[in-house]
Amino acid sequence: MISEDLKKLILPNLKLHLDEIDFQYIDTMFSECYKTYPEGRNTPWVTLKPHPHAGTIAMQFSMLTGSFMEITDWNYIKTIGERL
């Protein structure tokens, strides 16, 4: 499970990348998260579950700063990541 401290870091950045109408899905997005270590990076990223209108496009954030990093395929992340 993702920590409250990490949620607080990610939340402002997440809201910058969502339409306001999709804010209702934020809790769902935090309900399933995976930690990965992208190639060439020393700090882990967290991938949030996509909201219902995103298909398999998932958002990744730095676990150190909460900054938005990139988008990725949710199904791929579930095969390589560690569930939080």
Where exactly are the structural domains of the chain?
Answer: 4-83
The whole model's pTM is what?
0.91
φ, ψ of residue 7 in degrees (nearest 5): -60, -45
Residues of the chain with pLDDT under 50: none
- Per the listing, tokens 């990744």 go with 60
